[in-house]
Amino acid sequence: MLLLVDLDGTVWRGDAPVPGVAELLVEREAQGDVITYVTNNSTRHRADYLARLAAVGAPASLERIVTSARATALHIAGLRPRVERVLAVGSPGLVRELREVGLSVMSAGEAAEAAASGVPAAVAAGNPQAVVVGLDRHVDYGRLAIASTCVRSGALFVATNRDSVFPTEHGLAPGAGAIVAAIEVASGVAPIAIGKPGPLLLRVAADSVGVPLEGAVVIGDSIHTDIPAARAAGIASILLLTGVTRPEHLDGLAPGEQPTIVARDAEELRAALEGLTA
């Protein structure tokens, strides 16, 4: 069985591993399950997650870690007619993922600097065929302007995810979706969104390990991203109450929006997985 496992709130909370989850995933892999990790985070390269998963004792390999940045890169690389030139609004991790699939990438920061010297926007950006937008902690007016200009000029608009906020130790901070929304308003064009709650991240993750998505199970902690993504993909979901979702949050969900199974901890997750494979 293919297990599509979220990271933040599911395998770890902040700096601490969620008790028992890594050990359970080791057991499930030994029983023949394929463990693939799926996260909306677009700022880090997969190698960063590989090191962290190894540190908590979870089974992992580079090809079985699919961030929204990696999924975006694979999605664009598979488009026909072929896309070769990309403008990226995002982190170095996003730029690296895009380059590793063979794309020619110009960062929005570099393009904005060139445009500020009087070079036409499209030329400054390398005449991109696509504009990819993720979380960019250094975003400014120049980067928004050049990205929206390229989208208005016909470049494909792709969002790694549309998360409006993300949690930090100081509270909620603007997410990639806030930047995406600014470019959408300025360009008048809606993006293709790769990350959860849509199904594209899950489909790319299944394709990347060569396992059919049908019959897969999503394991995650969010009723706003993980569970709707599973529903959109037509597969089962297990909501793990170790992250952002509390039991009372389920009361407001319609019957069709409920997860397949709810698990409070790793032991209940073990029982849920055994029930699905019985």
Q: Which residues are catalytic?
A: 6, 8
Calculate the alpha carbon distances from 256 to 86, 229, 250 in Å.
Answer: 38, 13, 12
In a 13 Å sphere around the CA of 35, the CA atoms on its Cβ side amount to 24
Contacts of 143 (CB under 8 A, 6+ apart): 89, 108, 109, 111, 112, 136
Sign of CA dihedral 66, 68, 69, 72: positive
Tracing tokens 């929304």 back to the chain, one arrives at 181
Tracing tokens 């190698």 back to the chain, one arrives at 47
Contacts of 224 (CB under 8 A, 6+ apart): 197
